Amino acid sequence: MPSWVKTSSTSERLQEAMRIAHMKQADLARATGLSKGGISNYVTGRYEPKSDIVSKLAKALGVSEMWLWGYDVPMERQKKKDSPSEAELSEGEQMLLDLFRRVPEDKQALVLQMIRVALGNQE
């Protein structure tokens, strides 16, 4: 059961993942299509990347997005075959996913926290 506790900054995790993957900032920029300056800003912690950028970074580095955000979850990416496709979701699950995707990126962490509180922090 994931603890969902943020234990590191995104910049710390980004540096660690790059070290493990033996990637330099220029390598990561090429792999993601992001600018070298943008990568530098995320690595130094000057800017916090938004969800779409974290997805690109995590994919290029082969790590979990939640891990890259700094949460206490496994570093490894989930294999797609282990997770249900959107076609396999129930109508209620699909509705929740659609609603969540409409939440502005800067409010998504708050929505997740509210759900955890509503569940009594069981997750």
CB-based burial label for 99 (10 Å; 0-12, 13-18, 19+)? exposed
Is the whole-model pTM more than 0.75? no
41 lies in some domain: yes
Which residue bears the tokens 């059961």?
Answer: 1
Q: Is residue 31 part of a domain?
A: yes
- 64 and 95 in a single domain? The answer is no
pLDDT at 113 over 80: yes
Domain of 106 in residue numbering reads as 86-118
Listed range (23-37, 54-68, 98-112) with the worst mean pLDDT: 98-112
At residue 89, φ and ψ (nearest 5 deg) are: -75, 145
- On whether residue 21 sits in a domain, the answer given is yes
| Counted domains in the chain | 2
Judge if 71 and 19 occupy the same domain. yes
State the Cα–Cα distance between residues 66 and 123, nearest whole angstrom: 14
Q: Is the pLDDT of residue 123 over 50?
A: no
- Can you tell me the mean pLDDT for 45-73? 90
Q: With contact defined as beta carbons under 8 Å apart, do 17 and 61 qualify? A: yes
Cβ-based burial of 17 (10 A; exposed 0-12, middle 13-18, buried ≥19): buried
